[in-house]
A and B are shown apart, each in its own frame.
Chain A
Amino acid sequence: EAGVTQFPSHSVIEKGQTVTLRCDPISGHDNLYWYRRVMGKEIKFLLHFVKESKQDESGMPNNRFLAERTGGTYSTLKVQPAELEDSGVYFCASSTGLLYGYTFGSGTRLTVV
């Protein structure tokens, strides 16, 4: 079974630019999550999709962040315009249900300079 795939693995962009992160969940996993880890802090929830619907987006920092999951398959997370404080590692995870825990992708390390 293929795991959760994220790309790019690294992205360095200038403040004010736009970046789009992509996540391909495990096939058949209806639940898809985005999390972020800022250096020195804990992994924090951003949002949760069930299929193509946003179930919970309470963790999205502001309206510069836009997540989509068209067709209920892969998901994108766009940051526009990027700010310095957006730097961190963005993890995507998928699951069939909470009782089974999540499977995480390898993350995208975003650096805004």
Chain B
Amino acid sequence: QKEVEQNSGPLSVPEGAIASLNCTYSDRGSQSFFWYRQYSGKSPELIMSIYSNGDKEDGRFTAQLNKASQYVSLLIRDSQPCDSATYLCAVHLTGTASKLTFGTGTRLQVTL
């Protein structure tokens, strides 16, 4: 079992719809979770961090964390073509100093 798992996609959603990206992790003790967006050929860009159970909203983005079920998700409301990118889930696993463990990423395509 991978430490951080994501569906590679592509996830295709129409413009204006809600995109839902999911990530599961194996370490029950993990405390810090991050979502990065990576455009093709570019560097990963931090878009959300979440540390407590529940929802955290920032503009059109909402991160959701459920530690009991060991999943973290990212919702993108009113999806736009510029949201088309690969979304990387990163987890700070217990006992790993400040190292982040990444999933393989989910490619999102927002269609017109």
Q: Do A and B bind each other?
A: yes
Interface contact B99-A42, CB-CB below 8 Å: no
The residues of B that contact A105 with a CB separation of less than 8 Å are: 43
- Interface presence of A107 (CB below 8 A): yes
Interface contact A43-B88, CB-CB below 8 Å: yes
- Interface presence of A11 (CB below 8 A): no
- Interface presence of A2 (CB below 8 A): no
The one of A59, A91, A95, A99 in contact with B44, judged by C-beta atoms closer than 8 angstroms, is: A91
- Interface presence of A104 (CB below 8 A): yes
Q: CB-CB contacts of B69-92 with A at 8 A, as 1s and 0s?
A: 000000000000000000010001
- Interface presence of A101 (CB below 8 A): yes
The one of B46, B51, B92, B101 in contact with A103, judged by C-beta atoms closer than 8 angstroms, is: B46
How many A-B residue contacts, CB cutoff 8 Å?
A: 52
How far does the Cβ of B45 sit from chain A's closest Cβ, in whole Å? 7
Interface contact B100-A41, CB-CB below 8 Å: no
Interface contact B98-A42, CB-CB below 8 Å: no
- Interface presence of B104 (CB below 8 A): yes
A100 to B101, CA, bound (A): 16
- Interface presence of A75 (CB below 8 A): no
How far does the Cβ of A97 sit from chain B's closest Cβ, in whole Å? 7
Interface contact A55-B97, CB-CB below 8 Å: yes
The residues of A that contact B45 with a CB separation of less than 8 Å are: 104
The residues of A that contact B92 with a CB separation of less than 8 Å are: 98
Q: Which residues from chain A sit less than 8 Å from chain B, CB to CB?
A: 4, 31, 33, 35, 41-45, 48, 55-56, 58-59, 91, 95, 97-99, 101-107
Since A43-B102, A55-B98, A98-B92 are in contact, a sample of 20 more A-B pairs with Cβ atoms closer than 8 Å, ordered by chain A residue number, is A31-B98, A33-B99, A42-B4, A42-B102, A42-B105, A45-B100, A45-B101, A48-B98, A56-B97, A56-B99, A59-B99, A91-B43, A95-B98, A97-B98, A101-B34, A101-B49, A102-B46, A104-B36, A104-B43, A105-B43
16 contacts across the A-B interface (CB closer than 8 A):
A4-B43, A42-B103, A44-B102, A45-B101, A48-B97, A48-B99, A55-B98, A56-B97, A98-B32, A98-B92, A98-B100, A101-B34, A101-B46, A101-B49, A102-B100, A107-B43
